[in-house]
Amino acid sequence: MKPIIKVEGLGKQYRVGARQKFPTLRDSLVSAVRNPFNLLRTNGNSEMFWALRDVEFEVGNGEVIGIIGRNGAGKSTLLKILSRITDPTTGRVELYGRVASLLEVGTGFHPELTGRENVFLNGAILGMHKAEIDRKFDEIVAFAEIERFLDTPVKRYSSGMYVRLAFAVAAHLEPEILIVDEVLAVGDAQFQKKCLGKMNEVAKGGRTVLFVSHNMRAVAQLCGRCLWIDGGQIISRGPSNEVVVEYLSSSQPQKMDGLITKEMHYHDEVAELCFTRIALLDKDSNPTVVTYFGEPLRFRVEFEVLTPLEQIRLGLVINKFDETIVCAVQHTDAAMDLLNLQPGSYIAHIQIDIQLIPAPYYISLFAKPEGGYWTSGERSLDYIGHALAFNVEEVSAEGRAVLPTNALIHPASRWTLEGLEYN
């Protein structure tokens, strides 16, 4: 298939460190007038840094491609070049279609203007024509659910309304190529779900989408293929599920010992209970990210209690990367009472006897206050969406191959055969 995006030898160099100094305004002006773009040239006393180097890939028409990588890996630089915000230092990109980029929702929203006015302004900034916006206006407003506040300045909107309106405008763009960066990082869980649904719709509508996100679930679910970028270069590419697992399990060495870092917490502030570490254990109780088929899953979860807590429930959820919840286990399953905990460090040992089908999975952790349970509505004391990723191998610990299945579970079953009487 003919590619719609062709990237060859793409590189972007930034200068870091000392700049040429202009001690006074007068010098600065004189120099600026004499040679206005002096400083844009390279000069000796600063270090060059390649944010992106020798990047090469093609995207087929209608493909949905995920781009993943750590912060500062070069993902955003790549998107900025593809959306023509900044020029590359080397290389070439050919685009065989119109591009719209969504690097942040609400780009160009003006707080003083009303919702109605901002729809038109934002639409125009994102590349829509007035006639097009006129046509889609009702649809946009309906999607954003802000009918009653159309003529209110957006500065009086709640942040939720603001984001909904901004996403609604962006979601109604109709370019051949759509570039999306972290849009789903905003809004509440319910709205994120709605955004994801819309993204799915866009993707299935035959549009080419480049999707950058830290939300691995979203990437695995939306994208067929995936590029993993690190240090400005493509480290791995291939089917999303594979690349995502590779990224999650191997990119950070601390992943093995399952340290839960600050940004992994769902809530910005964790003041009462804080998960600190999770590990999947092999039969020798060493941390692992790969387990054989049929082995019981054993986890060790470490957490800290910061204030005295009463009536709390701990839980662990196993998810597939397509967002299917495989199971959610809670400590009360084992006939334990709700926990009353004093400040201090704790370790929970969890064993789940389940035969997962060979696939990649990830673990979520939660702690609910006041007798809350997995699906109850109150805010968790702590929630880790992606605590740990692991793989279930296609072979059992004894090396017996598992027959492929497209079923959701593969429980242990016991079979006996009796010889029937026959004549």
Partner 1 sequence: MTIGNNAGALAHAETSQNVEPPHTNTAASHEAVSSRLPDKPVVVIESRTWLALDLQELWAYRELLYFFMWRDVKVRYKQTALGVVWVILQPLLMMLVFAFLFGRTVGITSDGVSYPLFAYAGLVMWTFFSSAVNAAGNSLVNSASLITKVYFPRILVPAAAVGATLVDFGVSCVPLAILMIFWKVPLTWNLLLIPLFVVLVVVLAFGFGMWMAALNVKYRDIKLALPFVIQLWFFASPIIYPLSIIHGKLRSVLALNPMAGIIEGFRTSLYSHKAFDWRTIGFAAAVAAVFLVYSTYSFRRAERQFADLV
Site for partner 1 in 72-101 (CB under 8 A): 80-99, 101
Taking the complex as a whole, the smallest distance from the CB of residue 33 to partner 1 amounts, in Å, to 9
Which of 78, 381 has the CB closer to partner 1? 78
Which of 4, 305 has the CB closer to partner 1? 4
Under the binding rule (CB under 8 A), the answer on residue 196 touching partner 1 is no
Under the binding rule (CB under 8 A), the answer on residue 375 touching partner 1 is no
The residue assigned the tokens 């309906």 is 142
Q: Which residues of 45-65 are buried (b: 16+ CB within 10 A; e: fewer)?
A: eeeeebbbbebebebebbbbb
Q: Are 26 and 53 in contact (CB under 8 A)?
A: no
Q: Provide the angle, in degrees to the nearest 10, between the axes of the packed helices 115-125 and 130-144.
A: 130
Under the binding rule (CB under 8 A), the answer on residue 394 touching partner 1 is yes
Q: Which of 135, 156, 193, 204 binds partner 1 (CB under 8 A)?
A: 204
Taking the complex as a whole, the smallest distance from the CB of residue 313 to partner 1 amounts, in Å, to 31
Q: Report the distance separating Cα 239 and Cα 161, nearest Å.
A: 36
Which of these ranges, 184-192, 198-206, 255-263, 327-335, lies near partner 1 under the rule CB under 8 A?
198-206
Binding to partner 1 (CB under 8 A) within 109-128 occurs at: 110, 112-113, 117, 120-121, 124-127
Binding to partner 1 (CB under 8 A) within 206-265 occurs at: 206-207, 239, 241-242, 245-246, 249-250
Under the binding rule (CB under 8 A), the answer on residue 29 touching partner 1 is yes
Under the binding rule (CB under 8 A), the answer on residue 353 touching partner 1 is no
Taking the complex as a whole, the smallest distance from the CB of residue 392 to partner 1 amounts, in Å, to 8
Under the binding rule (CB under 8 A), the answer on residue 200 touching partner 1 is no
Per-residue mark of binding to partner 1, 269-298 (x: CB under 8 A): ---------------------x--------
Q: Are 385 and 364 in contact (CB under 8 A)?
A: yes
Q: Which of 103, 161, 235, 264 binds partner 1 (CB under 8 A)?
A: 103
Taking the complex as a whole, the smallest distance from the CB of residue 45 to partner 1 amounts, in Å, to 17
Taking the complex as a whole, the smallest distance from the CB of residue 404 to partner 1 amounts, in Å, to 6
Under the binding rule (CB under 8 A), the answer on residue 382 touching partner 1 is no
Closest alpha carbon to 328 in 345, 309, 350: 350
Taking the complex as a whole, the smallest distance from the CB of residue 299 to partner 1 amounts, in Å, to 19
Q: Which of 2, 21, 34, 414 binds partner 1 (CB under 8 A)?
A: 2
Taking the complex as a whole, the smallest distance from the CB of residue 47 to partner 1 amounts, in Å, to 15
At position 169, the amino acid (one-letter code) is V
Q: How many residues does the chain have?
A: 423
Q: Which of 213, 355, 364, 391 binds partner 1 (CB under 8 A)?
A: 391
Per-residue mark of binding to partner 1, 308-327 (x: CB under 8 A): ------------x-x-----
Binding to partner 1 (CB under 8 A) within 39-68 occurs at: 39-40, 61-62
Residue 403, classified by CB atoms within 10 Å of its CB into exposed (0-12), middle (13-18) or buried (19+), is exposed
Taking the complex as a whole, the smallest distance from the CB of residue 277 to partner 1 amounts, in Å, to 23
Which of 178, 363 has the CB closer to partner 1? 178
Q: Which of 58, 70, 108, 198 binds partner 1 (CB under 8 A)?
A: 108
Which of 120, 266 has the CB closer to partner 1? 120
Taking the complex as a whole, the smallest distance from the CB of residue 286 to partner 1 amounts, in Å, to 15
Binding to partner 1 (CB under 8 A) within 124-183 occurs at: 124-127, 129-130, 153, 176
